[in-house]
Amino acid sequence: MRIPQEKAVLALQLLVEGSSVRTTERITGLHRDTILKLLVHVGEKCDKLMGRIIVNVPVKQVQCDEIWGYVGKKEKNKTVEESENDALGDAYCFVAIERHTKLILNFALGRRTQATTNIFIEGLRHATAAQPFQLTTDGFKPYLAAIDATLSDRVDYAMLIKQYADNSEPEKRYSPADCIGCKKHAVIGDPDPAMISTSHIERQNLTMRTQIKRLARLTLSFSKKWENLWYAISLHFAYYNFCRIHRSLRVTPAMESNLTDHVWTIAELLT
Protein backbone atom coordinates (compact mmCIF):
# COMPACT_ATOMS: atom_id res chain seq x y z
CA MET A 1 0.00 0.00 0.00
CA ARG A 2 1.13 3.53 -0.75
CA ILE A 3 -1.12 5.18 1.84
CA PRO A 4 -0.51 5.42 5.59
CA GLN A 5 -1.83 2.44 7.54
CA GLU A 6 -3.86 4.74 9.81
CA LYS A 7 -5.85 6.04 6.84
CA ALA A 8 -6.29 2.55 5.44
CA VAL A 9 -7.64 1.31 8.78
CA LEU A 10 -10.00 4.28 9.01
CA ALA A 11 -11.32 3.64 5.51
CA LEU A 12 -11.92 -0.03 6.24
CA GLN A 13 -13.60 0.80 9.55
CA LEU A 14 -16.03 3.06 7.72
CA LEU A 15 -16.75 0.43 5.07
CA VAL A 16 -17.49 -2.36 7.56
CA GLU A 17 -19.80 -0.05 9.52
CA GLY A 18 -22.01 0.54 6.50
CA SER A 19 -20.56 3.68 4.91
CA SER A 20 -20.53 4.02 1.14
CA VAL A 21 -17.36 4.48 -0.89
CA ARG A 22 -18.08 8.15 -1.53
CA THR A 23 -18.85 8.78 2.15
CA THR A 24 -15.54 7.15 3.00
CA GLU A 25 -13.87 9.34 0.38
CA ARG A 26 -15.25 12.52 1.95
CA ILE A 27 -14.26 11.56 5.50
CA THR A 28 -10.78 10.16 4.83
CA GLY A 29 -9.71 12.36 1.94
CA LEU A 30 -8.68 9.27 -0.04
CA HIS A 31 -9.74 9.05 -3.67
CA ARG A 32 -12.57 6.59 -4.33
CA ASP A 33 -10.39 4.58 -6.73
CA THR A 34 -7.82 4.20 -3.94
CA ILE A 35 -10.55 3.02 -1.57
CA LEU A 36 -11.75 0.44 -4.09
CA LYS A 37 -8.19 -0.82 -4.63
CA LEU A 38 -7.83 -1.10 -0.85
CA LEU A 39 -11.12 -3.02 -0.69
CA VAL A 40 -9.92 -5.48 -3.33
CA HIS A 41 -6.53 -5.87 -1.63
CA VAL A 42 -7.95 -6.53 1.84
CA GLY A 43 -11.00 -8.47 0.62
CA GLU A 44 -8.73 -10.94 -1.15
CA LYS A 45 -6.73 -11.41 2.05
CA CYS A 46 -9.95 -11.92 4.05
CA ASP A 47 -11.20 -14.51 1.58
CA LYS A 48 -8.01 -16.54 1.98
CA LEU A 49 -8.05 -16.02 5.75
CA MET A 50 -11.53 -17.47 6.10
CA GLY A 51 -10.61 -20.48 3.97
CA ARG A 52 -7.44 -21.12 5.98
CA ILE A 53 -8.75 -20.77 9.54
CA ILE A 54 -12.37 -21.93 9.36
CA VAL A 55 -11.69 -25.60 8.69
CA ASN A 56 -12.95 -28.68 10.56
CA VAL A 57 -14.83 -26.56 13.10
CA PRO A 58 -16.96 -28.61 15.57
CA VAL A 59 -20.58 -27.45 15.27
CA LYS A 60 -23.95 -28.44 16.75
CA GLN A 61 -26.61 -26.51 14.89
CA VAL A 62 -26.16 -24.77 11.55
CA GLN A 63 -28.60 -22.56 9.67
CA CYS A 64 -28.36 -21.58 5.99
CA ASP A 65 -30.09 -18.94 3.90
CA GLU A 66 -29.65 -16.81 0.76
CA ILE A 67 -29.78 -13.02 0.65
CA TRP A 68 -30.55 -11.18 -2.59
CA GLY A 69 -28.53 -8.39 -4.13
CA TYR A 70 -27.61 -7.29 -7.62
CA VAL A 71 -24.70 -6.05 -9.68
CA GLY A 72 -25.01 -3.20 -12.16
CA LYS A 73 -28.78 -3.40 -12.55
CA LYS A 74 -31.70 -5.50 -11.42
CA GLU A 75 -32.38 -8.66 -13.41
CA LYS A 76 -35.66 -7.34 -14.82
CA ASN A 77 -33.91 -4.27 -16.26
CA LYS A 78 -31.34 -6.19 -18.33
CA THR A 79 -31.53 -5.74 -22.09
CA VAL A 80 -31.79 -8.60 -24.56
CA GLU A 81 -28.05 -8.30 -25.26
CA GLU A 82 -27.30 -8.48 -21.51
CA SER A 83 -29.60 -11.43 -20.76
CA GLU A 84 -26.77 -13.97 -21.00
CA ASN A 85 -24.31 -11.86 -19.00
CA ASP A 86 -24.17 -13.41 -15.53
CA ALA A 87 -21.90 -10.60 -14.30
CA LEU A 88 -24.95 -8.34 -14.30
CA GLY A 89 -28.22 -8.73 -12.45
CA ASP A 90 -29.13 -10.97 -9.54
CA ALA A 91 -26.38 -11.89 -7.07
CA TYR A 92 -27.38 -14.16 -4.19
CA CYS A 93 -25.12 -14.60 -1.16
CA PHE A 94 -25.51 -18.03 0.45
CA VAL A 95 -24.52 -17.95 4.15
CA ALA A 96 -24.13 -20.62 6.85
CA ILE A 97 -24.02 -19.69 10.55
CA GLU A 98 -23.48 -21.76 13.69
CA ARG A 99 -26.40 -21.08 16.01
CA HIS A 100 -24.53 -21.02 19.34
CA THR A 101 -21.19 -19.41 18.47
CA LYS A 102 -22.62 -17.12 15.72
CA LEU A 103 -19.62 -18.06 13.56
CA ILE A 104 -20.05 -17.62 9.81
CA LEU A 105 -18.86 -20.99 8.55
CA ASN A 106 -19.09 -20.47 4.81
CA PHE A 107 -20.56 -18.21 2.17
CA ALA A 108 -20.89 -18.25 -1.61
CA LEU A 109 -21.90 -15.61 -4.14
CA GLY A 110 -23.68 -16.46 -7.35
CA ARG A 111 -26.97 -17.09 -9.03
CA ARG A 112 -29.74 -18.83 -7.10
CA THR A 113 -29.05 -22.09 -8.94
CA GLN A 114 -28.13 -25.69 -8.25
CA ALA A 115 -24.51 -25.02 -9.24
CA THR A 116 -24.05 -22.23 -6.68
CA THR A 117 -25.82 -24.31 -4.02
CA ASN A 118 -23.48 -27.26 -4.66
CA ILE A 119 -20.40 -25.04 -4.28
CA PHE A 120 -21.80 -23.55 -1.09
CA ILE A 121 -22.56 -26.91 0.54
CA GLU A 122 -19.17 -28.33 -0.47
CA GLY A 123 -17.56 -25.36 1.28
CA LEU A 124 -19.72 -26.00 4.35
CA ARG A 125 -18.46 -29.58 4.50
CA HIS A 126 -14.88 -28.34 4.35
CA ALA A 127 -15.56 -25.87 7.19
CA THR A 128 -17.21 -28.33 9.61
CA ALA A 129 -15.73 -31.23 11.54
CA ALA A 130 -16.63 -34.81 10.65
CA GLN A 131 -19.18 -35.22 13.43
CA PRO A 132 -23.00 -35.13 13.49
CA PHE A 133 -24.82 -31.79 13.59
CA GLN A 134 -28.27 -30.46 12.81
CA LEU A 135 -28.82 -28.36 9.71
CA THR A 136 -31.81 -26.16 8.83
CA THR A 137 -32.51 -24.35 5.56
CA ASP A 138 -35.50 -22.72 3.94
CA GLY A 139 -37.54 -24.48 1.25
CA PHE A 140 -35.13 -23.80 -1.64
CA LYS A 141 -35.20 -27.12 -3.52
CA PRO A 142 -31.56 -27.28 -4.76
CA TYR A 143 -30.52 -27.76 -1.12
CA LEU A 144 -32.04 -31.25 -1.23
CA ALA A 145 -29.69 -32.67 -3.85
CA ALA A 146 -26.63 -30.74 -2.65
CA ILE A 147 -26.94 -31.79 1.01
CA ASP A 148 -27.86 -35.37 0.16
CA ALA A 149 -24.76 -35.73 -2.01
CA THR A 150 -22.31 -33.87 0.24
CA LEU A 151 -23.43 -33.90 3.89
CA SER A 152 -25.80 -36.83 4.30
CA ASP A 153 -23.21 -38.76 6.34
CA ARG A 154 -23.06 -36.17 9.12
CA VAL A 155 -26.28 -34.13 9.30
CA ASP A 156 -29.79 -34.33 10.64
CA TYR A 157 -31.36 -32.06 8.06
CA ALA A 158 -34.69 -30.24 8.10
CA MET A 159 -36.41 -27.57 6.02
CA LEU A 160 -38.42 -24.73 7.50
CA ILE A 161 -40.93 -23.69 4.86
CA LYS A 162 -42.68 -20.40 5.56
CA GLN A 163 -46.04 -19.45 4.10
CA TYR A 164 -46.71 -15.82 3.22
CA ALA A 165 -49.91 -13.91 2.61
CA ASP A 166 -50.52 -12.41 -0.81
CA ASN A 167 -49.52 -8.75 -0.67
CA SER A 168 -50.97 -7.04 -3.74
CA GLU A 169 -51.10 -3.45 -2.48
CA PRO A 170 -48.76 -1.37 -4.71
CA GLU A 171 -47.72 1.03 -1.95
CA LYS A 172 -46.32 -1.92 0.04
CA ARG A 173 -44.34 -3.55 -2.76
CA TYR A 174 -41.02 -3.02 -0.92
CA SER A 175 -42.38 -4.43 2.34
CA PRO A 176 -42.17 -8.16 3.09
CA ALA A 177 -45.39 -10.09 2.97
CA ASP A 178 -46.91 -11.21 6.24
CA CYS A 179 -45.86 -14.68 7.38
CA ILE A 180 -49.05 -16.63 8.11
CA GLY A 181 -47.45 -19.92 9.11
CA CYS A 182 -44.52 -22.30 8.67
CA LYS A 183 -44.04 -26.01 8.15
CA LYS A 184 -41.17 -28.07 9.54
CA HIS A 185 -40.12 -30.90 7.26
CA ALA A 186 -37.50 -33.49 8.31
CA VAL A 187 -35.44 -34.51 5.28
CA ILE A 188 -32.40 -36.50 6.48
CA GLY A 189 -31.87 -38.28 9.80
CA ASP A 190 -33.76 -37.31 12.94
CA PRO A 191 -33.61 -33.54 13.49
CA ASP A 192 -34.93 -32.15 16.78
CA PRO A 193 -38.21 -30.34 15.93
CA ALA A 194 -37.59 -27.75 18.66
CA MET A 195 -34.30 -26.76 17.04
CA ILE A 196 -35.61 -26.41 13.48
CA SER A 197 -35.21 -22.68 12.99
CA THR A 198 -33.78 -20.07 10.62
CA SER A 199 -34.15 -17.12 13.00
CA HIS A 200 -30.42 -16.65 13.59
CA ILE A 201 -29.43 -16.65 9.93
CA GLU A 202 -32.30 -14.26 9.13
CA ARG A 203 -31.00 -11.93 11.83
CA GLN A 204 -27.60 -12.20 10.18
CA ASN A 205 -29.21 -11.13 6.92
CA LEU A 206 -30.29 -7.92 8.67
CA THR A 207 -26.72 -7.36 9.86
CA MET A 208 -25.48 -7.75 6.30
CA ARG A 209 -27.97 -5.25 4.90
CA THR A 210 -27.07 -2.80 7.66
CA GLN A 211 -23.28 -3.07 7.47
CA ILE A 212 -22.68 -3.77 3.78
CA LYS A 213 -23.78 -0.63 1.97
CA ARG A 214 -23.88 -2.50 -1.34
CA LEU A 215 -26.78 -4.60 -0.02
CA ALA A 216 -28.81 -1.70 1.36
CA ARG A 217 -32.11 -1.44 -0.50
CA LEU A 218 -33.26 1.62 -2.46
CA THR A 219 -29.87 3.35 -2.60
CA LEU A 220 -27.28 4.20 -5.25
CA SER A 221 -24.63 2.15 -3.45
CA PHE A 222 -25.18 -1.14 -5.28
CA SER A 223 -22.12 -2.86 -6.76
CA LYS A 224 -21.13 -2.09 -10.33
CA LYS A 225 -18.63 -4.97 -10.49
CA TRP A 226 -19.15 -8.55 -9.36
CA GLU A 227 -15.65 -8.88 -7.87
CA ASN A 228 -16.09 -5.74 -5.74
CA LEU A 229 -19.26 -7.19 -4.22
CA TRP A 230 -17.41 -10.43 -3.46
CA TYR A 231 -14.53 -8.65 -1.75
CA ALA A 232 -16.89 -6.39 0.23
CA ILE A 233 -18.72 -9.48 1.54
CA SER A 234 -15.41 -11.22 2.32
CA LEU A 235 -14.28 -8.17 4.32
CA HIS A 236 -17.58 -8.06 6.18
CA PHE A 237 -17.48 -11.69 7.28
CA ALA A 238 -13.80 -11.59 8.29
CA TYR A 239 -14.51 -8.48 10.38
CA TYR A 240 -17.66 -10.08 11.83
CA ASN A 241 -15.91 -13.34 12.78
CA PHE A 242 -12.59 -12.01 14.08
CA CYS A 243 -12.91 -8.31 14.99
CA ARG A 244 -16.48 -7.52 16.04
CA ILE A 245 -17.57 -8.40 19.58
CA HIS A 246 -20.99 -10.02 19.46
CA ARG A 247 -23.28 -8.40 21.99
CA SER A 248 -24.81 -11.63 23.33
CA LEU A 249 -21.49 -13.52 23.42
CA ARG A 250 -19.32 -10.62 24.69
CA VAL A 251 -16.50 -12.03 22.56
CA THR A 252 -16.04 -12.48 18.83
CA PRO A 253 -17.55 -15.56 17.14
CA ALA A 254 -14.02 -16.82 16.39
CA MET A 255 -13.11 -16.62 20.10
CA GLU A 256 -16.33 -18.41 21.07
CA SER A 257 -15.40 -21.15 18.58
CA ASN A 258 -11.84 -21.40 20.01
CA LEU A 259 -10.29 -20.34 16.72
CA THR A 260 -8.59 -17.24 18.14
CA ASP A 261 -7.59 -16.08 21.63
CA HIS A 262 -8.14 -12.32 21.31
CA VAL A 263 -10.18 -9.68 19.52
CA TRP A 264 -8.45 -8.89 16.25
CA THR A 265 -7.95 -5.36 15.01
CA ILE A 266 -8.58 -4.30 11.44
CA ALA A 267 -4.84 -3.76 11.11
CA GLU A 268 -4.40 -7.53 11.61
CA LEU A 269 -6.59 -8.13 8.57
CA LEU A 270 -4.14 -6.05 6.54
CA THR A 271 -1.15 -8.22 7.41
The whole-number pLDDT of residue 127 equals 97
Residues 21-43, mean pLDDT to the nearest whole number: 96
How many contiguous H segments (helices) and E segments (strands) does the chain have?
9, 6
Q: Which of 142-146, 159-163, 225-229 has the lowest mean pLDDT?
A: 159-163
Residue 180 pLDDT grade (very low, low, confident, very high; cuts 50, 70, 90): confident
Q: pLDDT tens digits for 80-94?
A: 999 889 899 999 999
The whole-number pLDDT of residue 49 equals 95
The whole-number pLDDT of residue 181 equals 78
- pTM for this predicted structure: 0.93
Q: Domain spans of the chain?
A: 5-270
Q: pLDDT tens digits for 54-112?
A: 999 999 999 999 999 999 999 999 999 998 898 999 999 999 999 999 999 999 999 99
Residue 218 pLDDT grade (very low, low, confident, very high; cuts 50, 70, 90): confident
Question: Residue 200: in which H helix or E strand, if any?
Answer: helix 199-211
The whole-number pLDDT of residue 132 equals 96
Q: How far apart are CA 70 and CA 247, in angstroms?
A: 30
Reported residue count of the chain is 271
Q: CA geometry: angle at 133 spanning 131 and 136, to 5°? A: 150
CATH class of this structure's domain 5-270: alpha beta
Residue 182 pLDDT grade (very low, low, confident, very high; cuts 50, 70, 90): confident
Q: pLDDT tens digits for 198-217?
A: 999 999 999 999 999 999 98
Answer with the residue of higher pLDDT: 128 or 168. Answer: 128
